[in-house]
Amino acid sequence: MLIAKKIEFSYQKDQKFNIPDLNLNPGQQLLILGQSGSGKTTILNILGGLLKPHKGEVLINGTDLYSLGGAALDKFRGNNIGIIFQKPHILAPLTVEENLKLANFFSGTDGAKNEDLLSDLGISHKRKAKVNTLSEGEAQRVSIARALANSPKIILADEPTASLDDLNAANVVKLLKQQAEKFNAVLIIVTHDQRVKDHIANQITIGGEV
Residue 136 · residue 168 · CB < 8 Å:
yes
Stretch that binds other proteins, among 24-32, 42-50, 58-66, 163-171 (CB under 8 A): 42-50
Pick from 173, 194, 176: nearest CA to 185: 176
Residue of the chain from 27, 28, 68, 98 that contacts other proteins (CB under 8 A): 98
Closest CA to 189 of 28, 67, 55: 28
Quick one: 84 or 173, whose CB is closer to other proteins? 84
**Nearest-angstrom CA–CA distance, 200 and 108:** 32
Q: Is 141 in the site for other proteins (CB under 8 A)?
A: no
Closest approach of Cβ 85 to other proteins, in Å? 7
Strand partners, 155: 82, 187
CA atoms within 13 A of residue 164's CA, in its CB half-sphere: 27
> Is 129 one of the binding residues for other proteins (CB under 8 A)?
no
What would you report as the CA-atom Rg of the chain, rounded to the nearest whole angstrom? Answer: 17
Q: Which of 2, 22, 29, 107 binds other proteins (CB under 8 A)?
A: 107
List contacts with other proteins (CB under 8 A). Answer: 41, 45, 48, 50-51, 70-71, 74-75, 77-79, 81, 83, 85, 87, 89, 91-94, 98, 101-107, 146, 150
